[in-house]
A and B are shown apart, each in its own frame.
Chain A
Amino acid sequence: MKYVIIGNGAAATGAVEGIRSVDKTGSITVVSREDHHVYCRPLISYLLEGKTDEKKMLYRPGNFYEENGVDVLYGVSAEKIDPAAKKVTLSDGRALDYDALCVATGSAPFVPEVKGLRNVGRVHTFMTLDDAKALEKDLTPQSRVLIVGAGLIGLKCAEGILERCKSVTVCDLAPRVLSSILDDDCAAIMQHKLEDMGVEFMLDDTVAEFEENSAHMRSGKTVGFDVLVMAVGVRANVSLIKDIGGEVNRGIIVSDKMETSLKDIYAAGDCTESTDITSGVKKVMAIMPLAYMQGRCAGVNMAGGEELLSNALPMNSIGFGGLHCMTAGSYTGECYEEKTSTSIKRLYTEDNLLKGFILIGCNDRAGIYTSLIRNRTPLDTVDFDLLKRSPALAPFGKSYREEKLGGAV
């Protein structure tokens, strides 16, 4: 068997490991646009913060490809797939034959067209290791940095560079930070933490026009800056599949086996859409654990094994200055809330199921809640009154405990 994987991130790594769990000998070729061994993209902010280094941030050990018999083509991208000839054409003119193909192309920063943006000298995105290094090069202790976008990427960037520049201002069209995962109250807690750390915010506001070193905001304010980071959002890289008529929405449409609508072509990771089990809605859930699991599922199926992935849910664990915020699922139904001056717990239940939660400053054993969501555990089969106050195994009862603690799981 000849396997080709387009991409070299978490999903691609999962695909390699999935293939090798079934087929030890088939040839695997990874097409890596980035000229780097697989690394952990979410760690680029920690790199700038000095909490990791390039060696430590590798996703897999240095001998990973060798150990798994993988041929990596660095610094090239896939240009076109010919599904009839089962061939991938690369940017350097080469072509690769495949028996099974996995598209794990991830996503790319979306940079909106803002008037005057092309006049800005130092403008960055913050997604890849090379992005982080380029940003680092432009930073001085005197730099005033403007970050457009108060989402996960923009805020982690802010934290990562805060001690390395004079000021960091974050603006966002939304009236709150982390608007995709938090409501107003919870967002305010995270915002205060970041403000205490020294980040300045201009929310509910957006850039109307850039000059070389300043941004004129829609509100009429003007912000001076030396370095600009555009972190508005990301878009799934779907064009390889879209170009050849494969089914695509915002992300590539895949089955529970990670098959695209095209024969012998699979897709995994941030370039795909999957069904959020807490809402039933198909959407792009660009989170690294899911990317890995999808890749692994794709790999197993590519190699003739059988694996299904049908329990995806959005979830995030993100911290700033030691304050952690965990979120999962959908915030619908009845809300149970516990609040102190430093923490908030919100659990959302509907139809006898835990649908989602927000936990800030109270993360201990949070995975017990996540597993209730993922397993769609009927809440009348556990002591949820006990569980909602404190996540533990006791509320699951004796037989669950015997099963989980009594033997290998």
Chain B
Amino acid sequence: MRNTFRKIYLALILILLYAPIATLIVLSFNSSKTRSKWGGFTGKWYISLFQDTSIMNALYTTLIIAFVSALVATIIGTAASIGINTMQARSRTFFMTVTNIPMLNADIVTGISLMLLFIACRFTLGFSTILLAHITFNIPYVILSVMPKLKQTNKSTYEAALDLGASPVYAFMKVVFPDILPGVLSGFLLAFTMSLDDFIITHFTKGPGVDTLSTKIYSEVRKGIKPEMYALSTLLFVSVLLLMLLINMSPKDTKTAKHKVFNKAMIFGRVIPVSMILIIVSGGIFYHVESGQSGSEQVVVYNWGEYIDPDVIDIFEEETGIHVVYEEFETNEIMYPKIQSGAIAYDVVCPSDYMIQRMIENNLLAKIDFDNVPNIANIDPDYLEQSTSFDPTNEYSVPYCFGTVGILYNKTMVSDPVDSWDILWNEKYNDNILMQDSVRDAFAVALKRNGASLNSTDVSELQKAMNDLIKEKPLVQAYVIDQVRDKMIGNEAALGVIYSGEAIYTQQENPDLEYVIPKEGSNVWIDSWVIPKNAENKENAEAFINFLCRGDIALKNFEYITYSTPNKAARELIEDESIRNSSIAFPTAEDLKDCETYRFLGDDVDSYYNELWNKVKAS
């Protein structure tokens, strides 16, 4: 009876732990790219995974960092634990307090504080800074694993060994170490796994061109996780599982052998996993060296996640011989401080309109030499004209993509006509509305609904917008950025605020969806390429921009990312007439007559917006 209860309990916990894992494994065989729809069984992601060099590179970077940081942390941590254990209560408390800091502090604070340190010491952010950060947060895990074991060791046995003539080192190795070994090993394992699993600290301490799996996944969230990621996770998981089974099938000694360190089971249990890790890591180093070989010419690109066709980068490298170091960001607000601090010298960056204005005003951008960018002639003059709202002289930026913000709705779930922002306040759609989780987009909706400008600085207009957003909040199912796509495809919500570029993709996946720009007007945005002042390879950056402005290349990008292109040569090349003339992809001047671009409103107004938005979110 009692045993059955135990088994049921164990089973329930295991279900809790492994249900998401099972979900991910199932998703890795889903032939549809979106996570909300089952498109049939496929194994193709497992093949394309190995052709994806960026994922494989991220995997090996992750493994090397995890292994090295865990190893160093285990050595420093175990030594420290032994030292701490012999200390007086006061210094012990001091050490344990210091140890607890990285564990107890918010990861984001640890990450930022280390970033501040690295920048202050003029370290180049990159592989080595990630490694240092990982060792730092791994040591406490080792200490906390070893300390309880040390506390449980019997001091008398150690003293007895000394009395019997053993040297302190010998006595330690023979008496204390075997007792704490499980703690040391689980500390190493924990450190390895924590390093593998860390995202936030890596995010703040990494430089361009270096990605771990976590940061790679995070940058992919914008466009939806690549199914290859599910495949890779499944492979990692299954290989560890197999390893575990292998260990457990090895010959078991009787219980009395438990205390001997070097018996057969131990050899199977410890030596095999360690040697496998070594093989993986050395393979990783080899792979890393292989893929890292490149000419001296390079260009460091900083772009939105999933905002370029990877083939385009390959073609560029092939044609020009310039090596592309590619880095992605999630929002303008994450990108800006990195450029401002100058910690990393990016050569070419793709921010949005208002952020470009802010960068120009803060003197962070270099003028582009248009003699090196003859393909600028392919860009529709209308969009250059529009760019003057944030780049008045057209000297700093080259338009890359544009679009509008509108409402995506599910025709089967919405009975009313959708032509106004008002519908987002309609109580009929309680818990069926998805809002954008960004300050400016959320306020744009509320301001436009009230007939105000989305660049309003009027306190009463902003207060009213805030109150409206607070009123709307109970109806909102979730504030999302990119998940809006998957949720709308999966029929999770009836209405969602979305960027026009995403709308085209969602319609392909779910024909019930329709996109409108509400009659009160909306935001029209432009993302453009700019060159930061501290760029080290300005001419290569210009060559890169010029390349992207080529008609055939712009077309490739349009087909891949589905965001509207201002490139008229590319548009003429589009074969599918319904897309070439789509009012979503290429809105007419009539569609856009009430639409505005965002402008940077100054730091004070900016923080006022943020303050109001925080009130909405906290309400």
Tell whether A pairs with B.
no
- Chain B residues in contact with chain A, CB under 8 A? none
- Chain A residues in contact with chain B, CB under 8 A? none
